[in-house]
Amino acid sequence: MQQVHILMVDDHPIIIEGYQNTLMATKKDDQTLVIDTANTCDAAHILMQKAADERPYDVCFFDISLPPSADGKITSGEDLAKISREIMPRAKVIILTMFNESYRIHNIVREISPDGFLIKSDLTSSELAEAFQHILVDPPYYSSTVSNFLNKSVVNEIYVDDINRKILHLLSKGIKTRSLTEYIDLSMSAIEKRKKQLKLLFSIEDGKDESLIIEARKKGFL
């Protein structure tokens, strides 16, 4: 028997229930699935640390939009996926998201190189089942929207690194620029420079932080 240890992270319990039911109903006869679930970054992080010490997960499903951790250090499923890569390098990482912005997709593929990348609006139960079995044996598996975006050359590819994502996240939470140095280990001039680059990147003509946040949200970076 093949025992597959799985972590599913999504802030909507009904979605997790759907995934679980699909995988259990379509698993192979020689497979036993052991599934843990989490609805927040904190809950997922605790399970991942425990698993890394005891029995690492074989497959981790991460939704991108999740309530951030209490200390603000983990802000999304993207961050959890990076942690998984560090502490459980052999675990297959599957990203599930509503975002279908080409910029966001390129960013995730570049930062994480997931073993599976599924857009929820593309997803049927049969595709989830097919993707899961495919990823166990021969990753990666990318759903049609992801494949289409990756096949197209994106002229204006926006690449936002970890620090810039953190700046956007903190600004969106109402943290003033002058206070950002308390959260990010950079000088004020370095932070200002990054904000200028972000405004150029997102074509913010009025120079306002509010406009930057609105545009970043539209493109799926928040």
- Residue among 221, 209, 108 at smallest CA distance from 166: 221
How many other CB atoms are there within 10 angstroms of residue 68's CB atom? 16
- CATH number for the segment(s) 2-151: 3.40.50.2300
Q: Residue 155: its pLDDT value, please?
A: 39
pTM across the whole model? 0.69
Q: Residue 122: its pLDDT value, please?
A: 81
How far apart are alpha carbons 74 and 69 in whole angstroms?
Answer: 5
Residue 100, φ and ψ in degrees, nearest 5 = -130, 30
Q: Where are the domains of the chain?
A: 2-151, 162-218
pLDDT in tens, the chain (222 residues): 899 999 999 999 999 999 999 999 999 999 999 999 999 999 999 999 999 999 999 999 999 989 899 998 999 999 999 999 999 999 999 999 887 666 678 788 888 989 999 988 888 999 999 999 999 998 899 888 787 777 653 434 556 788 898 999 999 999 999 999 999 999 998 999 899 889 888 889 898 999 999 988 887 787
